[in-house]
């Protein structure tokens, strides 16, 4: 019985290695899928504290208008709070990064993925 469980766990771990591999996004739909997958993968492998990751998603949704404005300017208190939730060590650098990647983070046609998932996907690409 233990041998069967070990084999199943080993198979899932191997499959997980293929699933977690970065994907190239060629259009906004691909980017949405990639963002969602990367965010979920980061959550599963524990890149972020579970509570902080969930709080970052909730915060990004509730403060989406302010975050968009602050991302365009490269800084602000909401952007600093999001950086803290995502474990960024330098809030100013995070704000500048958001400003440089504004077009990818805020496409003309809004993506279904949460901003946090788009951030994680873009940082991994």
Residue ranges in the chain modelled with pLDDT below 50: 1-48
CA 112 to chain centre: 13
pLDDT for position 49 = 58
pLDDT for position 82 = 96
- Looking at the chain, which runs of residues are DSSP E strands? none
| Residue 29 near residue 107 (C-beta atoms within 8 A) | no
pLDDT for position 34 = 46
Phi, psi dihedrals of residue 25, rounded to the nearest 5°: -105, 125
Q: Which two tokens stand for residue 82?
A: 């999001």
pTM of the model: 0.60
Give every CB contact of residue 32 below 8 A, 6+ residues apart in sequence: 111, 112, 113
| CA 72 to each of CA 53, 68, 75, 95: distance values in angstroms, whole numbers, following the listed order | 23, 6, 8, 9
């Amino acid at each position: 019985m233990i041998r069967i469980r070990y084999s199943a766990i080993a198979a899932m771990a191997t499959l997980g290695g293929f699933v977690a591999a970065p994907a190239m996004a060629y259009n906004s739909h691909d980017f949405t899928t990639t963002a969602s997958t990367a965010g979920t993968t980061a959550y599963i492998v524990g890149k972020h504290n579970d509570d902080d990751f969930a709080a970052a998603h909730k915060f990004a949704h509730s403060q989406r208008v302010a975050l968009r404005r602050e991302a365009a300017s490269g800084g602000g208190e909401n952007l600093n709070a999001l950086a803290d939730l995502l474990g960024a060590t330098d809030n100013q650098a995070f704000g500048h990064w958001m400003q440089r990647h504004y077009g990818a983070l805020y496409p003309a046609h809004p993506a279904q993925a949460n901003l946090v998932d788009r951030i994680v996907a873009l940082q991994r690409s």
